[in-house]
């Protein structure tokens, strides 16, 4: 059915260059298991939620290889062109000589039914390869995108602890391959990968969007909706269109729309706006997803419950739309016009996000509550940006998700806070106003009653976090 534009795609799969002709939105998982008949990588959910299909994706950047663990079910094959894909087969462990990760999992019985195990092996290998610090906390976070239904995780954590102990000290992230080759955590061919990639053709760049083309920026939600929606269209990938640079331009922070959530979450220029971003990032998604999800996708996907978009709304971000007639800019809080509706004209794409310099170095708080704390979609999320002068509020911006058809900037509440004293009465009022400004519906993420109350409580929590005002406590 996908008589749509296919592409020749070349990449390195484990130790060899491979080529296939495919629609660029074809999930990488299907190419691995189907076209290349490598069955170690498992399909557990096809929505990035179980991690059984985790593979490593390596990219040459400034002469260095940068690897990341990703869920291959949500990676459009077009995005791996020119990159290195590593599956369990590519680790080249054997029964006589398993890799240290494999050996540790066996020793601790960190595998029972085995179906999640290839994903766990890859996540832990990715941890050794990419974690800035090799400690138990980082190992746990690296595994936060992998569901194991059998073990209760305890033996997997024991295996991780053993690996952490074995691999101290380890070289800096930029130069870790040789050390891991030496411990056989990685096979020797890893040192030859940059050479293999250098010989692959460069990626195409689009300057215009052909009519009828869907833009896919990361696909961590679009592929969850099922690949057919994409395979029946011509698509352009974010990497074909947008930059992913994060840079200062005239004092403002300009974020290329292709930037991933993970890149932004740890970028010093963004941390100047949201110092707690690494902690918030954990709530937003697993590392596998954050490595793929883009800001542009989070905004244009127009989900009323996007996490990053809520934060950007509170931060007063502007967006830049590139179209046939050039670039235009607008405040993000005017972009979403209704459920999955937005002010996006034919041929336009979201090219960048601009954070005005004045928004920096104020206080920002983000809250998200979901059934499961991590890697879940919020029942309600919210963010508060606030500028104070002593005990008085100078300016505030409150945004909330899951409580309206759009990611909601709570304009009335935000305006009402201006000039108010920082005290319990103000906090209480903010909670009341916020509840009055939203229209939550009952769904699988919670009843309307709950969401309304939860929003109020999150408003209280923002003020507690930022100013230790204890409103709403027993």
Partner 1 sequence: MKPQDPLLHVLGQSVYVDDLPEPAGMLHAAVFGSPVAHGHLRGLDVRQARAIPGVVAILTAADVPGRNQIGGMVQDEPLLADGAVHFVGQPVACVVATSREAAHRGVAALTADIDELPGVFEPREAHRLGQLIIPSRTMACGDVDAALATAAVVVRGQTRTGSQEHLYLETQGALALPEEGGRLRIVSSTQAPTAVQRAVAGVLGVGMHDVEVDVTRLGGGFGGKEDQATPWAALAGLAAWQLRAPVKLVLSREDDMRMTGKRHPYDADYALGLTADGDIVAWQVEFFQNAGASADLSPAVLERSLLHATASYGIANVRAIGHCCRTNLPPFTAFRGFGGPQAMFVLESALDHAARVLGVDRSVLQQRNLTRTGDVQPCGMPIRSDNAVRTFEQVISQFGFAAKQQEIAAFNAANRRFKRGAALMPVCFGISFTTTFLNQASALVHVYTDGSIAVSTGAVEMGQGVNAKIQAAVAGVFGVADARVRLESTSTARAANTSPTAASSGADLNAAAAAQAAQEIAQRLKNHAAALLGCQEAAIALADGRVTANGAATEWTFEKLVQAAYFARVSLSAQAHYATPGILFNRATESGVAFAYHVFGTALTEVTLDALLGTYTIDRVSCVHDVGTSLRRDIDRGQVEGGIVQGVGWMTMEEVVYRDGKLKSANLGTYKVPDILAAPAMDVAWLEQPNAPSHVTGKAVGEPPLMYGIGAYFALLNAIRACGVAADGMLEAPMTPERALLLLCGELP
Tell me which residues in 293-332 interact with partner 1 (CB under 8 A): none
Would you give the binding string for partner 1 spanning residues 178-217, x where CB under 8 A is met? ----------------------------------------
Centre a 10 Å sphere on the Cβ of residue 333 and count the other Cβ atoms it contains.
21
Q: Kindly state whether residue 3 participates in binding partner 1, applying the rule CB under 8 A.
A: no
At closest approach, how far in Å is the CB of 55 from partner 1? 11
For partner 1 (CB under 8 A), the number of binding residues is: 85
DSSP 188: G
Identity of the residue, 378 or 410, whose beta carbon is nearer to partner 1 in the bound complex:
378
At closest approach, how far in Å is the CB of 333 from partner 1? 25
Task: Give me the residues paired with residue 59 across strands.
Answer: 66
Q: Kindly state whether residue 42 participates in binding partner 1, applying the rule CB under 8 A.
A: yes
> What residues contact residue 208 under an 8 Å CB cut-off, 6+ apart?
324, 347
Q: Given candidates 17, 154, 165, 171, which one binds partner 1 under the rule CB under 8 A?
A: 154
User: What are the backbone dihedrals phi and psi of residue 29, each rounded to the nearest 5 degrees, phi first?
Assistant: -55, -40
Identity of the residue, 213 or 379, whose beta carbon is nearer to partner 1 in the bound complex:
379
DSSP 271: H
Identity of the residue, 103 or 321, whose beta carbon is nearer to partner 1 in the bound complex:
103
For residues 71-130, which are near partner 1 according to CB under 8 A? 87-89, 93-95, 98, 101-103, 105-107, 109-118, 121
For residues 442-461, which are near partner 1 according to CB under 8 A? 443-447, 449-450, 453-454, 457-458, 460-461
Identity of the residue, 24 or 239, whose beta carbon is nearer to partner 1 in the bound complex:
24
- Comparing CA positions, the residue from 89, 87, 85, 91 lying closest to residue 11 is 85
- SS3 at position 70: strand
Q: Given candidates 8, 133, 152, 341, which one binds partner 1 under the rule CB under 8 A?
A: 152
Q: Kindly state whether residue 224 participates in binding partner 1, applying the rule CB under 8 A.
A: yes
At closest approach, how far in Å is the CB of 135 from partner 1? 15
**What DSSP line would sit under 86-146, residue for residue?**
E-HHHH---SSS--HHHHHHHHTT--SS-SSHHHHHHHHHHHHHH-SS-SHHHHHHHTTT-
Peptide bond preceding 414 in cis form (omega within 30 of 0): no
Report CA 160 to chain centroid distance, whole Å.
23
User: What are the backbone dihedrals phi and psi of residue 293, each rounded to the nearest 5 degrees, phi first?
Assistant: -65, 140
For residues 378-397, which are near partner 1 according to CB under 8 A? 379
Identity of the residue, 254 or 285, whose beta carbon is nearer to partner 1 in the bound complex:
285
- Going 49 to 55 to 56 to 57, the CA torsion angle's sign is negative
Would you give the binding string for partner 1 spanning residues 54-73, x where CB under 8 A is met? --------------------
Locate 401 and state its tokens.
């998700």
């Amino acid at each position: 059915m996908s008589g749509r534009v296919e592409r020749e795609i070349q990449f390195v799969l484990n130790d060899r260059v491979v080529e296939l002709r495919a629609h660029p939105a074809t999930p990488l998982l299907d190419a691995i298991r189907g076209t290349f008949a490598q069955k170690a990588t498992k399909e557990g959910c096809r929505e990035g939620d179980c991690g059984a299909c985790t593979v490593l994706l390596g990219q040459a950047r400034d002469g260095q290889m940068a690897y990341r663990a990703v869920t291959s079910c949500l990676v459009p094959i077009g995005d791996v062109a020119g990159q290195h894909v590593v599956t369990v087969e590519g680790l080249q462990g054997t029964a006589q000589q398993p890799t240290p990760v494999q050996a540790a999992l066996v020793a601790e019985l960190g595998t029972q039914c085995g179906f999640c195990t290839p994903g766990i092996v890859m996540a832990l290998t990715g941890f050794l390869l990419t974690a800035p610090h090799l400690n138990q906390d980082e190992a746990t976070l690296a595994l936060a995108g992998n569901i194991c239904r059998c073990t209760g995780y305890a033996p997997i954590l024991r295996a991780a602890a053993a690996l952490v102990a074995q691999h101290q000290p380890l070289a800096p992230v930029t130069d870790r391959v040789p050390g891991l080759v030496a411990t056989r955590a990685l096979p020797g061919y890893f040192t030859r990968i940059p050479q293999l990639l250098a010989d692959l053709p460069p990626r195409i760049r689009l300057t215009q969007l052909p009519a009828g083309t869907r833009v896919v920026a990361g696909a961590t939600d679009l592929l969850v909706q099922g690949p057919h929606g994409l395979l029946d269209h011509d698509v352009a990938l974010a990497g074909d269109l947008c930059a992913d640079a994060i840079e200062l331009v005239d004092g403002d922070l300009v974020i290329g729309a292709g930037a991933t959530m993970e890149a932004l979450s740890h970028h010093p220029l963004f941390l100047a706006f949201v110092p707690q971003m690494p902690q918030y990032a954990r709530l937003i998604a697993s590392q596998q997803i954050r490595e793929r999800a883009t800001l542009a996708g989070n905004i244009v996907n127009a989900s009323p419950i996007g996490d990053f978009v809520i934060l950007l709304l509170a931060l007063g971000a502007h967006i830049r739309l590139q179209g046939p007639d050039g670039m235009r800019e607008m405040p993000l809080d005017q972009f979403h016009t209704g459920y999955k509706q937005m002010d996006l004209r034919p041929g336009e794409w979201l090219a960048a996000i601009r954070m005005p310099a004045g928004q920096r170095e104020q206080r920002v708080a983000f809250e998200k509550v979901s059934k499961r704390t991590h890697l879940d979609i919020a029942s309600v999320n919210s963010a508060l940006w606030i500028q104070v002068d002593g005990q008085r509020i100078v300016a505030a911006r409150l945004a909330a998700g899951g409580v309206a058809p759009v990611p909601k900037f709570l304009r009335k509440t935000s305006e009402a806070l201006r000039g108010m004293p920082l005290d319990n009465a103000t906090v209480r009022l903010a909670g009341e106003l916020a509840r009055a400004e939203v229209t939550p519906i009952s769904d699988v993420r919670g009843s309307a009653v709950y969401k309304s109350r939860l929003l109020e409580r999150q408003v209280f929590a923002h003020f507690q976090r930022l100013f230790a005002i204890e409103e709403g406590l027993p």
